[in-house]
Structure 1
Amino acid sequence: MSMSEGNKIIRMANQIATFFHSQPASEGPGGIATHINKFWEPRMRRQFFDIIDNHGGEGLDSLVLQAVPLIHRPKPAEVPPAAKASA
């Protein structure tokens, strides 16, 4: 994942958190997770978890970090057999 892709994912997640900072504190993590689980495609969630796993969530809002256990981790991307053969 390129740095610009990572920055975009961080910015998007933090924008969701900005909204939930104006809501009751108890709704924040669950609301963020629900939004990401519903509206982010698996590729975006893979990029998100790459930031969590490889960069410790650096740059992510504290509410986003609290939501991580509630966010569905997608299955790894499958490489098509033709791509494996040419590798």
Structure 2
Amino acid sequence: MNQRHLITMANQIAVFFETMPDRRQALNDFALHIKRSWEPRMRRELLEYVEKEGGTDLNETAREGIRLHADVIR
């Protein structure tokens, strides 16, 4: 899948979860959403992007959610 498209989708999902009052819960729910809604190949590509390139094009919520909850996303 196109990496740019994955980044855009992850950022859009993260923006939704940013509205939650509890930041920790928002990050966890973001990761759970990715786990439940994305196919394994998409999740793997997103994790590889963050691991290899630092996730610089992700917004802060997406990047932090992935780093803190990579085990959930796998």
* TM-score for both structures, normalised by structure 1: 0.72
RCO greater where, 1 or 2, for CA within 8 Å and sep 6 or more?
A: 2
Segments of 5+ residues of structure 1 without an aligned counterpart are: 74-87
Where does residue 20 of structure 2 map in the other structure? 23
Aligned length in residues: 70
Report sequence identity in percent. 36
Q: Distance in 2 between matches of 1:49 and 1:17?
A: 15
Structure number, greater radius of gyration:
1
d(CA) in 2 for partners of 1:28, 1:65:
13
RMSD of Structure 2 on Structure 1 (CA): 1.5
Unpaired runs of at least 5, structure 2: none
Deviation at 1:64, TM superposition (A): 1.2
Which residue pairs with 2:11 in the alignment? 14
Q: What's the TM-score, normalizing by structure 2?
A: 0.82
Q: For 1:26 and 1:49, locate their aligned partners in 2 and report how far apart those are by CA, in whole Å.
A: 20
Alpha-carbon distance in structure 2 between the residues aligned to 1:6 and 1:18:
18
Q: Which runs of 4+ in 1 moved over 2 A?
A: none
Going from structure 1 to structure 2, the CA distance change for 1:55 and 1:19 (only over 3 Å counts) comes to: same
